[in-house]
Amino acid sequence: MKKLVRFAIAGGIGFLVDAGVLSALLHLTPLGPFLARLVAIALAMAATWAFNRSFTFDRSGRSLASEGFRYGSVGVTAALVNYGLYSALLLSLPSLQPLAAMVIASLASMIFSFFGYSRFVFRTE
């Protein structure tokens, strides 16, 4: 249960980075909601890896490079699910705000991420 709470905190941090970067890019740059979200997801993934590696899960015993690759693999897969749902929502519901679509898509990919990180990335060998 402790890991799940810490994972939720990491997710909250990632969500804040994702939402903050997305909002900033939408307001301060000519990037549209699709390209801005790609940048936001990448920065959020880096933030959650740092938190998850230090506080949520025990270190895996793998090298930093191996662990980073595994984390990236799960993260990219979860991000594709997240981004796919985000895009589908925006395209099918044009009046939906990008941040609302981000919330829905982020929640949908959270379960996949937890199991991927806990079983594939940070599981001790």
pLDDT, one tens digit per residue, over 23-73 is 999 999 999 999 998 999 889 988 988 888 888 886 677 787 888 888 889
Quote the mean pLDDT of the chain.
88
Q: What is the pLDDT of residue 59?
A: 67
Range of the domain at 30: 1-122
Whole-number Cα distances in Å, 109 to 28, 30, 79, 82, 106: 28, 28, 8, 6, 5
| Cβ-count burial 83-114 (b if 16+ within 10 Å, e if not) | bebbeebbeeeeeeebeebbeebbebbbeebb
- At residue 63, the pLDDT reads 80
pLDDT of residue 57: 80
- As for how many domains the chain has, the answer is 1
74: its two tokens: 């799960």
pLDDT at 124 over 80: no
- Taking the C-alpha atoms of residue 31 and residue 77, their distance in angstroms, rounded to an integer, is 23
Distance CA 112, CA 97 (A): 24
Sort 121 into a burial class: Cβ within 10 Å, 0-12 / 13-18 / 19+: buried
pTM here is: 0.72
So what's the pLDDT on residue 125?
60
